[in-house]
């Protein structure tokens, strides 16, 4: 018998799966439990790092050197308070890592203030909502039909903080908000905050125009760069803070290729002070400094190799989209970013198409599009290039990949083995900073491999 109780509010297929796993867990001895965990870690490596091509733009591989920081004895050390005035003793090294990570984030994003004590992108958005709004206030946010994220809506952190979200009007010809209609709406509902930035971004968003509208009604502007932060860090995209966003939030594990986590950056001292108090003593006591160290390593990769990586993500996405369209697949619009979408009506919906591609060892997921809806599913399929570029794929590899996607959507099991065999040509993590013998950082476009000696000794060898 599992200890976990039945949860009637969870959909039956999920709850059935949970109960089967919990019941098997309850049967195992501690030794068998450990063996099972090891087996699952290996299986996950096989799925992601050996068998599958991951076209989900919400994921990435990490530089092994950043990943090593996650198991370097940092994460279990509590660290309360500001550096230089820590409550607990022995934090002289850890408080330096905390400041290095924040400084590097500020440098990479051209921001005056960086908050890194943020567990996730969702919590980064909560920080932004708390810094700009009171419960009961109204915000305007992109709707799900243009990739608007749940964190900005009732079910997510906006709703948890009791904000009232009014969906932004959509420009049906561009995958972003309609600024003229937004102006009318903003004067009508008087929001405290207008958010922009989605889970699918095809064109630059009209940030400076949104800022003008926000100024007219006394609102602040939040740019949610959960997906775009890599392109922003690599200067392959608009710089939202420069264009007038008061705050920018992001996830650190998507296009940024760092550890799971979030961050908030701003140039506004008043907002920075509020965010600082929200982070501590507000919503974190201690925070995960292992993650902060991994983020610092990730930022060094961006400083050294970021422009090349971001440009390659964009170029590779454009080529893959073109190749898919040439094969007759229904490309939605097009893209100028690292991600794009296919209209998924012909496959019965985006999640349905993604489950089919899963059988072909191609990983994707659904997304909303401002197009005819599909019963019981989203109407788009989202694809992106952060991971495939970081494992070494180039634009010239995209005709092959497009062929696998097109066939995989029709006869997935016929291509599974070929997809995996083809994928195995690519390995390691590219676009990392490597320490050369001259003790200077050089772009490492060849793959970084785990090298424990180098990980603990950055001196020239």
256 binds ligand PLP (CB under 6 A): no
By CB under 6 A, name the one of 115, 137, 171, 224 that touches ligand PLP. 224
By CB under 6 A, name the one of 227, 274, 319, 338 that touches ligand PLP. 227
263 binds ligand PLP (CB under 6 A): no
384 binds ligand PLP (CB under 6 A): no
By CB under 6 A, name the one of 132, 176, 199, 364 that touches ligand PLP. 199
- Give whichever of 191 and 197 is closer to ligand PLP, judged by the CB atom: 197
145 binds ligand PLP (CB under 6 A): no
The answer for residues whose C-beta is within 8 angstroms of residue 276's C-beta and 6 or more apart is 115
Contact (Cβ atoms closer than 8 angstroms) between residue 131 and residue 271: yes
195 binds ligand PLP (CB under 6 A): no
| Minimum distance of ligand PLP from residue 300's CB (angstroms) | 21
By CB under 6 A, name the one of 65, 117, 149, 430 that touches ligand PLP. 149
Distance (Å, whole) CA 170 – CA 52: 35
Contact (Cβ atoms closer than 8 angstroms) between residue 389 and residue 194: no
By CB under 6 A, name the one of 54, 56, 60, 198 that touches ligand PLP. 198
Contact (Cβ atoms closer than 8 angstroms) between residue 3 and residue 17: no
- Give whichever of 222 and 296 is closer to ligand PLP, judged by the CB atom: 222
Q: Report phi then psi at 384, rounded to 5.
A: -160, 170
**Binding region for ligand PLP (CB under 6 A) out of 42-50, 172-180, 196-204, 367-375:** 196-204
- Give whichever of 79 and 199 is closer to ligand PLP, judged by the CB atom: 199
- Give whichever of 365 and 429 is closer to ligand PLP, judged by the CB atom: 365
60 binds ligand PLP (CB under 6 A): no
- Give whichever of 196 and 360 is closer to ligand PLP, judged by the CB atom: 196
- Give whichever of 251 and 416 is closer to ligand PLP, judged by the CB atom: 251
151 binds ligand PLP (CB under 6 A): yes
387 binds ligand PLP (CB under 6 A): no
| Minimum distance of ligand PLP from residue 367's CB (angstroms) | 10
| Minimum distance of ligand PLP from residue 328's CB (angstroms) | 29
Position closest to ligand PLP via CB: 121
| Minimum distance of ligand PLP from residue 72's CB (angstroms) | 22
165 binds ligand PLP (CB under 6 A): no
Cβ–Cβ contacts within 10 Å for residue 71, how many?
A: 9
**Binding region for ligand PLP (CB under 6 A) out of 73-81, 214-222, 223-231, 400-408:** 223-231
# chain residues binding ligand PLP, by CB under 6 A: 15
- Give whichever of 91 and 133 is closer to ligand PLP, judged by the CB atom: 133
208 binds ligand PLP (CB under 6 A): no
Of 120, 70, 3, 126, residue with least CA distance to 292 = 70
441-449: long-range pairs with CB below 8 Å, 24+: 441/300, 441/303, 441/304, 442/304, 443/304, 443/305, 443/308, 444/304, 444/305, 445/305, 445/308, 447/391, 447/392, 448/63, 448/64, 448/65, 449/64
Q: Show the binding pattern over residues 102-141: x = contacts ligand PLP (CB under 6 A), - = does not.
A: ------------------xxx--x----------------
Distance (Å, whole) CA 379 – CA 311: 29
67 binds ligand PLP (CB under 6 A): no
380 binds ligand PLP (CB under 6 A): no
366 binds ligand PLP (CB under 6 A): no
228 binds ligand PLP (CB under 6 A): no
- Give whichever of 262 and 368 is closer to ligand PLP, judged by the CB atom: 262
255 binds ligand PLP (CB under 6 A): no
**Binding region for ligand PLP (CB under 6 A) out of 37-45, 220-228, 325-333, 381-389:** 220-228
User: Which residues contact ligand PLP by CB under 6 A?
Assistant: 58, 120-122, 125, 149, 151, 197-199, 224, 226-227, 251, 262
């Amino acid at each position: 018998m599992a200890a976990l109780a039945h949860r009637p509010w969870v959909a039956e297929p999920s709850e059935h799966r949970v109960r089967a796993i919990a019941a098997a867990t309850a049967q195992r001895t501690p030794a068998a439990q450990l063996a099972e965990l090891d087996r699952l870690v290996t299986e996950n490596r096989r799925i992601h790092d050996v068998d599958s091509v991951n076209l989900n733009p919400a994921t990435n591989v990490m530089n092994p050197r950043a990943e090593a920081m996650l198991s370097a004895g940092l994460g279990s050390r509590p660290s309360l308070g500001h550096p230089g005035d820590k409550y607990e003793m022995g934090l002289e090294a850890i408080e330096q890592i905390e400041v290095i990570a924040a400084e590097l984030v500020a440098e990479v994003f051209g921001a005056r203030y960086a908050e890194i004590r943020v567990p996730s992108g969702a919590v980064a958005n909560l920080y932004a909502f708390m810094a700009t709004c009171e419960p009961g206030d109204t915000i305007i946010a992109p709707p799900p039909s243009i990739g608007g994220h749940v964190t900005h809506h009732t079910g997510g952190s906006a709703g948890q903080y009791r904000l009232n979200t009014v969906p932004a009007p959509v420009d049906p010809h561009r995958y972003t908000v309609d600024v003229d209609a937004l102006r009318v709406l903003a004067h009508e509902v008087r929001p405290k905050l207008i958010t922009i930035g989605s889970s699918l971004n095809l064109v630059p968003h009209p940030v400076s125009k949104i800022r003008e509208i926000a100024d007219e009604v006394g609102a602040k502007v939040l740019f949610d760069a959960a997906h775009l932060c890599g392109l922003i860090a690599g200067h392959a995209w608009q710089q939202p803070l420069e264009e007038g966003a008061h705050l920018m939030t992001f996830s650190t594990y998507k296009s940024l290729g760092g550890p799971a986590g979030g961050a908030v950056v701003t140039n506004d001292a008043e907002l920075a002070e509020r965010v600082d108090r929200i982070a501590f003593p507000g919503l974190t006591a201690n925070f995960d400094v292992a993650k902060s160290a991994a983020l610092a390593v990730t930022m060094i990769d961006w400083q050294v190799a970021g422009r090349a990586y971001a440009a390659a993500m964009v170029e590779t996405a454009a080529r893959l989209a073109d190749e898919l369209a040439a094969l007759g697949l229904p490309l939605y619009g097009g893209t100028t970013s690292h991600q794009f979408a296919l209209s998924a009506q012909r496959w019965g919906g985006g999640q349905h198409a993604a489950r089919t591609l899963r059988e072909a060892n191609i990983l994707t997921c659904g997304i909303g599009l401002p197009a005819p809806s599909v019963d019981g599913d989203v109407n788009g399929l989202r694809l992106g290039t952060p991971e495939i570029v970081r494992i070494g794929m180039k634009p010239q590899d995209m005709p092959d990949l497009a062929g696998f996607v097109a066939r995989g959507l029709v006869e997935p099991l016929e291509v599974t083995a070929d997809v995996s065999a083809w994928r195995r040509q690519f390995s390691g993590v590219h676009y990392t900073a490597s320490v050369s013998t001259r003790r200077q950082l050089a772009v490492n476009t060849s793959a970084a491999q785990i090298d424990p000696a180098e990980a603990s000794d950055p001196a020239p060898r």
